[in-house]
A = this chain, B = another copy of it.
Amino acid sequence: MRLAFASLAVLTLAAAPPPPPKTPTPAKVRSPGDAVKAAPATDWIEIPAADLLVMHLAGGKRVVIQLAPQFAPVHVANIRTMARSGYWAKATIYRVVDNWVTQWGLGDGPFPTPPGVVARPPEEYQRGPAGLTLMPMGSPDPYSEMGAYADGWPVAKQAGGTVNPTYCYGAVGVARDAAPDTGNSSELFAVIGATARRLDRNYALVGRVIEGMENLSALPRGTAEMGVYAKDQVPTSITAVQIAADMPAAKRPRFEYLRTGSPAFTDYVQLASHRADYGVPSPGADLCAVPVPVRKKKA
């Protein structure tokens, strides 16, 4: 079809006015990616295998989530316990809401959780600043006193002094009912649209997707109430969920992130906040528009 149309185009081209001369392509300026590429190997920190949750999906696809024990230790411990016990062996991805979230788990229960799972974890929506080195992001943040990075995560410092992780694209949170203590990490969701930062400090943030995001974001949207899959829709099966540390070393996924506050990271944040590589630079940027660089670690 395209070829046929192209041939037609050639036939009619002679009658068309000559195309105007093109403006020269502007000189290349440094992009945020250039700063990341220039980072020395020593500026990359490997993510611990105990912090990688590997979800295997039907069809041989997978999703890798970096867990955030710095911010939600009890919820993350629950996730590790559930993964190791096979709790999610029959889980599915059953809810997809455009410009909002994709959600998975066993669905309506309650289902008995394995021994060791804390049924009612503390809120863990924010924490004190002790032990965290905050690097200010530099742009105003409408959701807090200051957007920043800490320990490889985009965070917000609140006027009261607490620090919370932020619901940027790919962030993984704990689904719950309206009462704030009803989530135990058995049902999780990932942000698949524009910022979901109205969830900050209201839902426990337990990680972020670092591989296979498209296996959550490109799924058909649910047509039943609240974006849950209707009876005529087929939820995606989750065939296994593992902690990378429990996988054979040769099969483990390995990832590393650019060290918060390293010269290359600082350079990257500066370039990404005032991008000049498109033309007109902006005065600043959203915290979520300047994500922490994460990449596969070469063996």
Contact = CB atoms under 8 A, between A and B. Distances in A.
A200 B281 CA distance: 9
Interface stretch (A47-55, A106-114, A249-257, A261-269): A106-114
A62 interface: no
A20 B119 CA distance: 7
Contacts of A113: 16
Contacts of A181: 22-23
Interface string A147-190: 00000000000010000000011100000011111100000000
A203 to B, nearest CB: 8
Interface residues of A, number: 80
A178 B140 contact: no
B200 A282 contact: yes
A193 interface: yes
Interface in A1-53: 1-2, 4-6, 9, 12-13, 15-17, 19-20, 22-26
A202 B140 contact: no
Closest 9 CB pairs of A and B: A142-B284, A139-B142, A140-B140, A169-B194, A202-B278, A16-B112, A25-B178, A202-B279, A5-B90
